[in-house]
Chain A
């Protein structure tokens, strides 16, 4: 297997970016990454792109943008997998190099929620189950039941159930969700690209926000941001050939094992996952990624993790599924401050998805942030310790897709 490194990272400023159009937003991240890598645009041999097209309302938007990102006349591949898409694009870019087909590949993913006239991410999220809901109406669902389904949907649907499931298995309380959300806002205040920043935010501040649907508060919910994130990969030979002398982040293992969609009673296929906090797919993805990376004890060998957690319970849950804590115990670590920037095992020092969620960008942003930690370029939110290995995770679909990427400070031998 070929060694592949991340030699450059770029992010657009995330927020409600009404000042630019979708192509300009993507270009902002792309050219920042090219500059960061210190290469010429001609050095890039191929592209990996993706977003969730329903959010921005353009079908196959990358075709419109190809010549904004220097991809004209070059190979470009597109993937899309829901919330995971950023992670999936990162994996695609990696495989494009690892396959031996190309030496330098640029991977970019993005989302521009503010282009939708509907509030937040309504259009995109509603249409995940739109066909199924339409069928349920046909077979006699009344408006009351429809509204009730929307009630949960407004609080990000299945994620609320997942929070309840997680509470049931771990014995944690809502106050722990408050703590995680407060940490996200605090960390985001140190990240210039983040959306919701709240210096010195406390769990009490979050606890004061209204309850959307028990056990989820308004303060637990991620924003709908606009943004784009980008990385540039190079093969080991290309790193030498390009004369890259700055620190780079090496990809040591990737995996993305698909689980079954969370069942709300309308699927025609599957295995009917009952407990949404089980996350077999996440466990398997982490296991395989570690195996490929040669990591035996993730808690000891990994120094920092960027977990895709739009809702705070997911940071707790996934940190267990990814093997950093025992099942049902992550909240204790949070109580002890273990996951703070200066803690023993920092999680989401960037503020994470809970503070900034431009869906397509979010998965890639985890990779960018993990790489920055390894390169020592995370500035104000750089963790104050030696970072040798970092994990970037993303989830998507109906809480069923997971991408895990292990990055390290040295190539695999």
Chain B
């Protein structure tokens, strides 16, 4: 016996839409935009809450714990640690479809590649970011692993300048 799903009669359908693409939004000036601008100089900045001393990367505007606005900016380390990670199976066509676009077919992702996604906390910060973990085999990834930021050859101040992270040097006693 396998999986059982009850089937129900199909009745007529009528169509309609929710035009989400017609929405406009607002973001605070001086936070994610400034964070990204600093990528041009290969710098990672965050905000420092004067209430609790936490450093948020990417920058946050309101600290929920202290219930106050954060305006102070600080530069943080390029080194961090892996808090959690995911590993994709080798990618195939038809497996990653976003808003009707097949990401492999369209060439955004390569056929057969395996992607490791890491949740990274940069040193001295209280928050985390999801970044691809590059130049590492899935078998070699472990929690708490030290990683460093990998930048594009030419940084132009865009989110994509920060390609991901890669394993940092490890010093071992031999």
Contact = CB atoms under 8 A, between A and B. Distances in A.
A147 B103 contact: yes
A144 B109 contact: yes
Nearest to B88: A213
Contacts of A117: 15
B96 A161 contact: no
A199 B160 contact: no
A60 interface: no
B159 A139 contact: yes
A165 B84 contact: yes
B171 interface: no
Contact of B27 (A165, A195, A268): A268
A19 B11 CA distance: 5
B108 A123 contact: no
Interface string B150-170: 000000111111000000000
A152 B96 CA distance: 10
Given A141-B159, A214-B86, A148 B132 contact: yes
A72 interface: no
Contact of A143 (B20, B36, B106, B156): B106
Contacts, number: 186
B10 to A, nearest CB: 4
Q: What's the interface size class on B, roughly?
A: 35 or more
B32 A139 contact: yes
B127 A272 contact: yes
A154 B25 contact: no
B60 A196 contact: no
Contact of A265 (B15, B126, B129, B156): B129
Interface centre among A13, A210, A268 (most CB of B within 10 A): A268
Interface string A131-147: 10011100111111111
Contact of B103 (A134, A150, A185): A150
Interface string A12-53: 010111111100000000000000000000000000000000
B76 interface: no
B88 to A, nearest CB: 5
Contacts of B23: 131
Contact of A18 (B10, B64, B96, B97): B10
Nearest to B131: A265
B25 A135 contact: yes
Contacts of B138: 214
Interface in A236-276: 260, 263-272, 274-276
A136 B143 CA distance: 27
Contacts of B89: 210-214
Interface string A210-242: 111111100000010000000000000000000
A125 to B, nearest CB: 12
Contacts of B64: 260, 269-271
A77 interface: no
B119 to A, nearest CB: 6
A168 B5 contact: no
Interface in B129-148: 129-130, 132, 138, 143
Contacts of B143: 168
B127 to A, nearest CB: 3
A129 B13 CA distance: 29
A160 B86 contact: yes
B28 interface: yes
A151 B25 contact: no
B60 A268 contact: yes
A232 to B, nearest CB: 26
A278 B16 CA distance: 41
B132 A263 contact: no
Interface string A303-314: 000000000000
B172 interface: no
Contacts of B15: 117
B160 A141 contact: yes
B130 A149 contact: yes
B9 interface: yes
Contact of B130 (A154, A168, A265, A267): A265
A270 B95 CA distance: 33
8 contacts: A130-B20, A131-B23, A139-B32, A150-B96, A155-B86, A199-B1, A211-B89, A213-B88
Given A18-B11, A265-B128, 18 more contacts: A15-B8, A20-B11, A139-B32, A140-B159, A145-B132, A145-B159, A146-B98, A148-B117, A153-B98, A161-B84, A161-B130, A198-B2, A199-B4, A264-B129, A268-B62, A270-B63, A272-B54, A275-B84
